[in-house]
Structure 1
Amino acid sequence: MATSMLQPMEDEFPVDHDEKVLLSLGYKQEFKREFSLWTSFCVSFAVLGLLPSFASTLYYGMGNAGTAGMVWGWIIAMVFIQCIALSLAELCSSMPTSGGLYYASAVLAPPGWGPVASWVTGWSSWIGQVTGAPSVNYSVAAMILAARSITDSDYVPANYELFLLTTFLMIIQSCISSMPTKWVAVFNSLGSSFNMVAVIIVIVLIPAATKTDPKFTPTYQVWSNIDNGTDYPNGIAILMSFISVMWAMSGFDAPFHLSEECAIADVASPRAIVLTSAIGGIFGWILQVVVAYTVVDIGAVLNSDLGQPWATYLLQVLPMRTALATLALTIIAGFSMGQGCMVAASRVTYAYARDGCFPMSKYWRKVNKYTKTPVNAVWFNCAVGILLCLLIFAGEVAILAIFSVGAIACFIAFTIPISLRVFFVGNRFRRGPWHLGKFGKPIGAAAVAFVVPMVPILCLPSLIGSKLNSSNMNWTCLVYGAPMLFALLWFAIDARKWFKGPRVNAKHAMRGQFIKEQREA
Structure 2
Amino acid sequence: MDTKDEVEKLPTTAKMPPGKDSIELTTREMTKDEHHLATLGYKQVFIRSFGMFENWAATFTTMNFVSGLPVLFGFAMYTGGPQAAFSNWTMVGGLSTIVSLAMAEIAAALPTAGGIYYWAYALGGQEYGPLLAWLTAWYNWAGWLTIVPGIAQGNTNFFVSMLEILYPSSAVLKEGWFAWCISALTIILAAIPNCVSQWTIRHMLRGTVYTTVVLMAFYFIWFPIAASRRGGFQPASIMTTFYNGINTAMDSEGNTIVQASDSYCWVVGVLFGAWPVFSTKEFYGYDASVHLSEETLSASSVVANGMWTGSISTWLLSVLTLIMVLFCMQDFMGIVNGTYPNNWAEYLVQLVGRRGAAAILAFTWIDGLLCTGVIFLSAQRITYAVARDGILPFSKNFSKVTPKHHLPVNAALLMVVLTIAICAAVIGSTVAFSAITAAATIGTNLSYLIPIVARQTIGRKHFKPAKWNLGAWSIPVSIIASLYIAFLFVVLMLPQLYPVDAQTLNYAPIVIGGITAIALGGWFFPFSLGARHWFEGPRRTITEVELVGVQVKGSD
Please list, as runs of the form range in 1=range in 2, the aligned pairs for 1:505-516 lying within 5 A after superposition: none
Please list, as runs of the form range in 1=range in 2, the aligned pairs for 1:187-226 lying within 5 A after superposition: 187-210=204-227, 214-226=231-243
Q: Which residue of 1 aligns with 2:195?
A: 178
Q: Which residue of 1 aligns with 2:244?
A: 227
Q: Which residue of 2 aligns with 1:496?
A: 532
Q: Which of 271, 282, 297 is 1:263 aligned to?
A: 297
Is contact 1:67–1:227 with CA below 8 Å preserved after alignment? no
Q: Which residue of 2 aligns with 1:25?
A: 40
- Does residue 288 (structure 1) correspond to residue 288 (structure 2)? The answer is no
- Does residue 236 (structure 1) correspond to residue 264 (structure 2)? The answer is yes
Q: Which residue of 2 aligns with 1:475?
A: 507
Cα distance 1:155–1:479, how it changes in 2: closer, same or farther (>3 A)?
A: farther
- Does residue 96 (structure 1) correspond to residue 111 (structure 2)? The answer is yes
Post-superposition shift, 1:79? 1.8
Structure number, greater radius of gyration: 2
Q: Which residue of 2 aligns with 1:487?
A: 519
> In the TM superposition, what whole-angstrom CA distance separates every residue of 1:141-161 from its partner, at most 9, and x where no partner exists?
121111111011211311110
Is contact 1:132–1:338 with CA below 8 Å preserved after alignment? no
Secondary structure of 1:55's counterpart equals helix
Percent of pairs with identical residues: 24
Q: In the aligned structure 1, how far is the partner of 2:229 from the partner of 2:523?
A: 58
Q: In the aligned structure 2, how far is the partner of 1:395 from the partner of 1:212?
A: 41
Please list, as runs of the form range in 1=range in 2, the aligned pairs for 1:397-476 lying within 5 A after superposition: 397-464=431-498, 467-476=499-508
Post-superposition shift, 1:46? 2.2
Q: Which residue of 2 aligns with 1:79?
A: 94
Q: Which amino acid aligns with 2:415?
A: N
Q: Which residue of 2 aligns with 1:166?
A: 183
Is contact 1:43–1:188 with CA below 8 Å preserved after alignment? yes
Larger mean CA deviation between 297-306 and 484-493 belongs to: 297-306
- Segments of structure 1 that go 5 or more residues without pairing to the other structure are 1-13, 509-516
Q: In the aligned structure 2, how far is the partner of 1:302 from the partner of 1:482?
A: 34
- Does residue 393 (structure 1) correspond to residue 427 (structure 2)? The answer is yes
Post-superposition shift, 1:109? 1.4
Q: In the aligned structure 2, how far is the partner of 1:220 from the partner of 1:423?
A: 47
Is contact 2:89–2:319 with CA below 8 Å preserved after alignment? yes
Q: In the aligned structure 2, how far is the partner of 1:224 from the partner of 1:311?
A: 22
Q: Which residue of 1 aligns with 2:4?
A: none
Is contact 1:103–1:504 with CA below 8 Å preserved after alignment? no
Q: Which residue of 1 aligns with 2:344?
A: 310
Q: Which residue of 2 aligns with 1:277?
A: 311
Q: Which residue of 2 aligns with 1:511?
A: none
Post-superposition shift, 1:235? 3.0
Q: Which amino acid aligns with 2:196?
A: M
Is contact 1:363–1:376 with CA below 8 Å preserved after alignment? yes
Q: In the aligned structure 1, how far is the partner of 2:294 from the partner of 2:429?
A: 40
Q: Which amino acid aligns with 2:202?
A: A
Q: Which of 116, 122, 130 is 1:107 aligned to?
A: 122
Q: In the aligned structure 2, how far is the partner of 1:310 from the partner of 1:222?
A: 19
Is contact 2:31–2:553 with CA below 8 Å preserved after alignment? no
- Does residue 378 (structure 1) correspond to residue 407 (structure 2)? The answer is no
Cα distance 1:168–1:455, how it changes in 2: closer, same or farther (>3 A)?
A: same
Higher helix share: 1
Larger mean CA deviation between 88-97 and 183-192 belongs to: 183-192
Cα distance 1:166–1:451, how it changes in 2: closer, same or farther (>3 A)?
A: same
Is contact 1:389–1:399 with CA below 8 Å preserved after alignment? yes
Is contact 1:126–1:345 with CA below 8 Å preserved after alignment? yes
Larger mean CA deviation between 311-320 and 363-372 belongs to: 311-320
Q: Which amino acid aligns with 1:489?
A: G
Q: Which amino acid aligns with 1:490?
A: G
Cα distance 1:372–1:21, how it changes in 2: closer, same or farther (>3 A)?
A: same
- Segments of structure 2 that go 5 or more residues without pairing to the other structure are 1-28, 248-258, 275-280, 545-551
Q: Which amino acid aligns with 2:197?
A: P
Post-superposition shift, 1:213? 5.8
Post-superposition shift, 1:73? 0.4
Q: Would you identify which runs of 4 or more consecutive aligned residues in structure 1 move more than 6 Å?
A: 504-508, 517-520
Q: Which residue of 2 aligns with 1:362?
A: 396
Post-superposition shift, 1:297? 4.0
Q: In the aligned structure 2, how far is the partner of 1:304 from the partner of 1:185?
A: 38
Larger mean CA deviation between 190-199 and 27-36 belongs to: 190-199
> In the TM superposition, what whole-angstrom CA distance separates every residue of 1:360-396 from its partner, at most 9, and x where no partner exists?
1111111111221000111111111111101202323
Is contact 1:47–1:337 with CA below 8 Å preserved after alignment? yes
Cα distance 1:506–1:179, how it changes in 2: closer, same or farther (>3 A)?
A: closer
Q: In the aligned structure 1, how far is the partner of 2:126 from the partner of 2:43?
A: 25
Post-superposition shift, 1:486? 1.4
Is contact 2:83–2:240 with CA below 8 Å preserved after alignment? yes
TM-score if structure 2 supplies the norm length? 0.84
Post-superposition shift, 1:224? 4.4
Post-superposition shift, 1:16? 0.7
Post-superposition shift, 1:318? 2.2
Larger mean CA deviation between 315-324 and 353-362 belongs to: 315-324
Post-superposition shift, 1:471? 1.3
Q: In the aligned structure 1, how far is the partner of 2:539 from the partner of 2:306?
A: 26
Q: In the aligned structure 2, how far is the partner of 1:33 from the partner of 1:25?
A: 17
Cα distance 1:518–1:441, how it changes in 2: closer, same or farther (>3 A)?
A: farther
Post-superposition shift, 1:211? 6.4
Q: Which residue of 2 aligns with 1:343?
A: 377
Q: Which amino acid aligns with 1:289?
A: I
Q: In the aligned structure 2, how far is the partner of 1:387 from the partner of 1:134?
A: 9
Q: Which residue of 2 aligns with 1:55?
A: 70
Cα distance 1:472–1:195, how it changes in 2: closer, same or farther (>3 A)?
A: same
